[in-house]
C-alpha cells in the first residue's frame, strides 16, 4: 500500500489515501481514476487521477460534468468578496 497525498479541489482540504501498488501497475494506461467519497477527506466527493509514480495528475469534482472555473467553486474567496461587498455597503 502506498500513501498518496490528495487535496480536495473544492475546499483545498488535504489528506492521504492508501492505494494498492498492484492496481496501478496492472492498469493499462498507467493512470488510474479513484473516486473519493464524501467524508473521506472532507464533505465533498471528487475524482483523482494517479499515475504510476503515485503522483496525483488531476482532481475534479465529480458532481459537475462540465469543468467550471475553480474560482466559482472557491467558497473562501466568495466569502471574502461577500465581506468586502458588505463593508462597501455599510460605508
| Residues in contact with Zn ion by the rule CB under 5 A | 8, 10-11, 13, 42, 44
Nine-digit cell string for 57? 495528475
Nearer Cβ to Zn ion (27/62)? 62
> Shortest gap between Cβ of 89 and Zn ion (angstroms)?
30
Nearer Cβ to Zn ion (27/56)? 56
> Shortest gap between Cβ of 42 and Zn ion (angstroms)?
3
Rounded-to-10 torsion of CA 19, 23, 27, 32 = -20
Q: Which helix (H) or strand (E) holds 71?
A: helix 70-73
Nearer Cβ to Zn ion (24/41)? 41
> Shortest gap between Cβ of 28 and Zn ion (angstroms)?
30
- CA 36, CA 13: separation in Å to the nearest integer? 13
- CA 70, CA 17: separation in Å to the nearest integer? 23
Amino acid at each position: 500500500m502506498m500513501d498518496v497525498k490528495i487535496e480536495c479541489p473544492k475546499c483545498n482540504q488535504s489528506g492521504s489515501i492508501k492505494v494498492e501498488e498492484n492496481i496501478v501497475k496492472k492498469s493499462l494506461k498507467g493512470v488510474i481514476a479513484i473516486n473519493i467519497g464524501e467524508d473521506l477527506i472532507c464533505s465533498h466527493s471528487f475524482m483523482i487521477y494517479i499515475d504510476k509514480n503515485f503522483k496525483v495528475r488531476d482532481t475534479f469534482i465529480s458532481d459537475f460534468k462540465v469543468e467550471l472555473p475553480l474560482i466559482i467553486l472557491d467558497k473562501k474567496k466568495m466569502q471574502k468578496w461577500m465581506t468586502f461587498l458588505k463593508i462597501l455597503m455599510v460605508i
